[in-house]
Amino acid sequence: MNDELVPLSELRRAIDVAFSESMNDVSLHRFLASRAKTMHRSIGFADGDQVELLQQFVHRYIKQVPDVLDHFHKISVAAGVESELEAFLNIAIDYFLQPLDITASHRGLMKIMDAAYLAHRLIEEVNDRFMSNAGVSISPIDNTEDNVVMHFLIGETLANELDLAVHYSVEMLISQDALFSKHSLMLYVEAQKCSQKKARESDDAKSDNAVHLALLR
């Protein structure tokens, strides 16, 4: 597998086309307006128009996907597990290029929104496996809270079906014994843990210096 993940350019084009075709489509705005009325109180809003804020959130959520997948790919290469994780990248991209039948009723950004949720949830699930088995993250962002918001926006019934599809893919494709015992991954994990320890020690040193300087004033 090359360093450059070629299908990502196709994914970016698909997202750009969806945004371009939906430029004058008000269906997403209407949908979000209806959802905003029933938002759970635990989901807070900044000051401003709630529907506009939700629309901005959805746009960012969708546009993040290619960059998140690109980072995921580069980490898998660095850890020497690109062949084991390539299938997940292909599945995430296929969510956009070959949407699941259960999202067939949606069009435009609504369909892309479903695909983005699937991709983000897939990365979240794989990352959770890495965190629990290796103690390191392979995702550039913590998208857990964003996924909770998107789960609500999509709707409990469909979102649960999409979650099930993601869970099935992860269970089918990850062989934990083979993946997490791979020597290259073990070396990568140790290097990451060492780097994180040095970063923490550096932060502690800075904090100590700050305290001493404060006492000298």
Confidence of residue 48 (pLDDT cuts 50, 70, 90): low
pLDDT one-digit tens code per residue, 113-162: 989 999 999 999 999 998 888 888 888 788 899 999 999 999 899 899 99
**pLDDT at res. 6:** 61
- Do the Cβ atoms of 26 and 77 come closer than 8 Å? no
CB half-sphere exposure, 19, CA atoms < 13 A: 14
Q: Name the residue among 85, 125, 96, 124 with its Cα closest to residue 9.
A: 96
- One DSSP character per residue, 48-101 reads S-HHHHHHHHHHHHHHHHHHHHHHHHHHHHHTT-HHHHHHHHHHHHHHHHS--G
- Higher confidence at residue 136 or residue 105? 136
Query: Of the given ranges (2-11, 33-42, 104-113, 143-152), which has the lowest mean pLDDT?
Result: 2-11
**pLDDT at res. 211:** 40
- Do the Cβ atoms of 95 and 119 come closer than 8 Å? yes
Query: Of the given ranges (32-46, 76-90, 104-118, 143-157), which has the lowest mean pLDDT?
Result: 32-46
Mean of all residue pLDDT scores within the chain = 82
**pLDDT at res. 164:** 94
pTM value?
A: 0.82
Confidence of residue 216 (pLDDT cuts 50, 70, 90): very low
Confidence of residue 106 (pLDDT cuts 50, 70, 90): low
- Higher confidence at residue 178 or residue 122? 122
Q: Name the residue among 171, 65, 55, 42 with its Cα closest to residue 117.
A: 65
**pLDDT at res. 104:** 65
Percent of the chain at pLDDT exceeding 90: 28
Confidence of residue 32 (pLDDT cuts 50, 70, 90): confident
Confidence of residue 2 (pLDDT cuts 50, 70, 90): very low
